[in-house]
Amino acid sequence: MKNILLVLSTSRTSPEAVEYALALAKKEKARLITLFIMETEIVSEVFEIFSDIGFTGDKPSMRLTEAMMREFRQRGYEELKKIEDIAKKEGIPCELVIEEGDFLKKALWVMDKYGIDSAVAIKKRRSAIASYFIRSQVLMLKEKAKCPVEIFQEE
Amino acid sequence: MNISIDRRPLWLVFALKGFRPLFFLLLGLFFWYAISMPTPSGLSIEGHKIIVLFFIALALWVTNTIPLAITSIFVIMAIPLLGVMDTKETYALFGNEAIFFILGAFILSAAVMHSGLSSRIALTILERFGTTPRKLILTIFLLGTFLSFVMSEHAVAAMIFPIVLEIAKELDLKPRKTNYGKLLFLSLAWGCIIGGVATFLGGARVPLAVGILKETSGIGIGFFEYSLAVLPAVFIMLIIGFFILLKVYPIDIDSIERARTGLVAKNKALGNMGYEEYLIGILMGVTVFLWAFFGKDLGLANIALGAVVVLFIFRLVRWRDVEDYVNWGIILMYGGAITLGSALAGSGAAEWATNLMLGSSGLRPWAIIAILSLLTLFLTEGMSNSAVIAILMPIAGGIAMKFRLDPKIITYAIAMPAGLAFTLPMSTPANAIAVSSGYLSVFDMAKAGILVSLSAWIVFNLMVWVYWPMLGIR
């Protein structure tokens, strides 16, 4: 059985990409592996701003980042639950994975672990200037992945 | 397999990868070049050296390539090494009253947070007054404001954020999709920002500005004196800010019942108010009263440190708790900024720079204040609020002298707008947390933030023309 990976994250969601991944898995009679990555870099950035610029103590900054991680985890579970429900209804074998850490590293790790044949990922919306200076993680994923990666724009 | 090729120019790829070493190399080259240039006429050798050091500190504070506090350490170390001031004199500036005032205020604020008193106040007020969607937004907005009158606005934002996040969750608001989600987080951020400029306690920026003023000109500003001068502007900005919030993002939900149920449950779970909370509340109230009415006689720092001693006498807080809540980097940052300001003024460099920039300008004093406050508002959107004060305050004395203005006006024109960053998330923790929540984008914040920033500038300048002359500040 083929394995199709749908990569979602805290800052990358798209109903269109979810729909496409489900349709692809159904057509290919494949297993859909949905990965939700909680990006710790967003939380680290906030911690640094509070600590280095706001001079807030460690405890309030930690509480704040813990609250953010809880929220991100909750969002991940909700997103994955929705996909699982649709997959069940459509008779698509589905596996849910939730991971915490760097987007690129985690996505590549799951690709290797599950022997992924095809992947669907979502690219963040960025201004032309920002795209020029900051390389897209999703484009890097496409470059480094051993399987084809279909890219959708974030909504 | 599709392979995407990085098509950016090779120099850009290398430059981005080696940004830090390249930046420090360029900074070092600039330092070497600028310091070996002949000293401009009218400027002392010490003045020449401190101006070069000022530009290095400026580059480091603006880019934030190393923590702000570390830039300050570098400044303190470099001043005696460059021969601008001797070692004893340089390090003695660390004993500035403003620094010990901030230290005491932060320890008191740590006790308030550690005891749970601040969370209790927040939950009680939200439960009591946040009864409708509109009232809940107003309550969060005002709660952030009033708590920031007595505690650091950043600490207040960090404390209220998890509560607001749970409210958004209980209301089942979809990130970035609903106006109400945007309103919840913007009201939290902007409430804290506006409240943070009202007193010496909000962002600790004001004591820094006042400390630099005192070191450079010998003029002091009292706790009550400052608040009396800025409070009307704060209240006008609250009204305008709330109006703009609701105009740009009209409320799109009918009920907040589910969130209210959550707030009631959370409040109940706190139990009865304990003895420690009562004592800390009384101590905080008495301290603020003493700061406001006896600050000039007793000394702001003495009152703050006295209150800290009382905290420990009654065992209301342990040293370990204080360490968890206080970021000691602030002492280094402020110490360095005051030292740099004092060296710039003492060497005559600040006056020389002011003459060079504004020497032949026929600007009227009101235009100077308008330009300075606008420049401060603009700078504070892109860099740390404290760094803006550290950069602009040293020249304040020179500007005041040149245009025969009360130095206090120039201090207010920098200290107050420096805290009013409404548009971008990078420089103000409260804005950063609002955007990071995912309920609004940078664009959502900027759209309404530009309007609030512009209003703040107009309100500030109206105060200068209309209200301050009534207080004798001209």
The pLDDT tens digits for B380-400 are 888 888 888 988 888 887 788
Which amino acid, one-letter code, is at B123?
L
Which pLDDT score is estimated for B80? 95
Contact (Cβ atoms closer than 8 angstroms) between residue B416 and residue B172: no
The H or E element containing residue A94 is strand A94-101
Q: List the structure tokens of B436.
A: 């990071």
Contacts of B20 (CB under 8 A, 6+ apart): B65
d(Cα B345, Cα B338) in Å, to the nearest integer?
A: 11
Which residues on B lie below 8 Å from A147 (Cβ)? 1
Closest CA to B422 of B162, B244, B251: B244
Contact (Cβ atoms closer than 8 angstroms) between residue A138 and residue A122: yes
Of B3, B329, B384, the CB nearest to A143: B3
Whether B113 and A60 lie within 8 Å, measured CB to CB: yes
Most confident of A46-50, A51-55, A91-95, B213-217: A91-95
Which pLDDT score is estimated for A131? 67
d(Cα B116, Cα B155) in Å, to the nearest integer?
A: 13
With a cut of 80, say whether residue A48 has pLDDT above it: yes
Which pLDDT score is estimated for B65? 86
The pLDDT tens digits for B358-378 are 766 677 888 889 999 999 999
Which residues on B lie below 8 Å from A50 (Cβ)? 154, 158, 429, 432-433
Query: Which of residues A57 and B287 earns the better pLDDT score?
Result: B287
Of B1, B67, B432, the CB nearest to A46: B432
Q: What is the ipTM of this complex?
A: 0.78
Of A10, A56, A139, the CB nearest to B158: A56
Which residues on B lie below 8 Å from A75 (Cβ)? 175, 438
Of A53, A60, A148, the CB nearest to B325: A60
Whether A60 and B159 lie within 8 Å, measured CB to CB: yes
Sort strands A94-101 and A118-123 into parallel, antiparallel or unpaired: unpaired
How many residues can be counted in chain B?
A: 474
Q: Where are the alpha helices (DSSP H) in B19-116?
A: 19-36, 45-63, 68-81, 87-92, 97-115
Spans of chain B below 70 pLDDT = 1-9, 12, 15-16, 359-361
Mean pLDDT of A75-86: 92
Which pLDDT score is estimated for B1? 45
Neighbours of A130 (CB within 10 A): 11
Contact (Cβ atoms closer than 8 angstroms) between residue B129 and residue B333: no
Listed range (A29-43, A133-147, B21-35) with the worst mean pLDDT: A133-147
User: Exposed (0-12), middle (13-18) or buried (19+): which is B101, by Cβ within 10 Å?
Assistant: buried
The predicted model scores a pTM of 0.86
CA–CA min distance A63, chain B (Å) = 8
Which pLDDT score is estimated for B382? 82
Whether A63 and B162 lie within 8 Å, measured CB to CB: yes
Whether B324 and A59 lie within 8 Å, measured CB to CB: yes
Residue of chain B with shortest Cα separation from A11: B438
Q: A interface mutation test: which of B147, B156, B327 has the most A CBs within 10 A?
A: B327
- DSSP character string of B367-391: HHHHHHHHHHHHHHHHS-HHHHHHH
Of A50, A139, A148, the CB nearest to B429: A50
Which residues on B lie below 8 Å from A135 (Cβ)? 6
